[in-house]
Amino acid sequence: MGSPCAHSIPDRIQLLQAPRGYNCLQEGTAMTDFTGRVAVVTGASKGIGRAMAQQFAARGAKVALLDIDADAGNAAAQAIRESGGDALFVHADVGDFASMEHAAAQVQQAFGGTDILCCNAGIYPQAFLETMTEEDWDRVHRVNLKGMFFTVKAFLPLLKQSEHGRIILTSSITGPITGYPGWSHYGATKAGMLGFMHSAAIELAKYGITVNAILPGNIATEGLGEIGEEYRRKMEAMIPMKRLGKPEDVAYAALFFASDEANYITGQTLVVDGGQVLPESSLALEDL
């Protein structure tokens, strides 16, 4: 099997210890530069979506920020442009297919296509089973699950034209791995996203499009902010890394799935949670 560089393994170990800027290892480990590619992020006005847009823009991609919050979205796009990036805010509701088709047309007109699609918009209002209404259930499903489907469906014609098509879903540890009182409807949507992903990854492989999901733990975003200081403090105590995640922590996982280096990975998940799902019980965290 061919080696990416001409050095033997002992040589390469030595090179790992060599000064920075030397040799082919650097070339082998550098992540894709996204210059010339277009990244579309839903729910990009705030939190994780905004961090994804910022990170793709910082690596050269043209980014389209789709959201229902126009003030925050325009401010986020403006901040990217002021940092030298290329960004466009598009007012779009993921739960409305006509709105998403319109957004895809706007992105096509402004940037000429789409290479990377981050289905990130999601809501997580708490509702307990005994009082949860059909409306509560439908509202969460409309945004989180149907919204993901509408986003993929609207942008698929553009992704099919790309040589680097990537779909990246923001799921959650809640649902696929864990549960939390008040989020059964939310957990159902986040687990549902993975069910969608498994079949979508097979269907879209023939176009070279990969479909992968990120499962964030507790990430300090505007959306989580309303949950309160006490929740935050208690949650941090339960995370081996003893802190909530930053939006950028999740965005870096999106960069990886979008990279050329990840071109043979599809239908997979990446947990970004500071080790939160690892302890068998709270005993595992005692004396740490």
Q: Tell me which residues touch ligand NAP (CB under 6 A).
A: 42-43, 45-49, 67-69, 72, 93-95, 120-124, 143, 147, 170, 172, 216, 218-219, 221-224
Of residues 39 and 121, the one with the C-beta less far from ligand NAP: 121
CB of 63 vs ligand NAP, minimal distance in Å = 15
* Distance in angstroms (rounded) separating the CA atoms of residues 256 and 251: 9
Of residues 61 and 169, the one with the C-beta less far from ligand NAP: 169
Of residues 69 and 101, the one with the C-beta less far from ligand NAP: 69
Q: Is 264 one of the annotated active-site residues of the chain?
A: no
CB of 168 vs ligand NAP, minimal distance in Å = 11
Of residues 28 and 153, the one with the C-beta less far from ligand NAP: 153
CA–CA distances in Å: residue 191 to residues 41, 103, 238, 280: 20, 26, 22, 21
CB of 255 vs ligand NAP, minimal distance in Å = 16
Find the catalytic residue in 124, 186, 231, 252: 186
As annotated, the active-site residues are 186
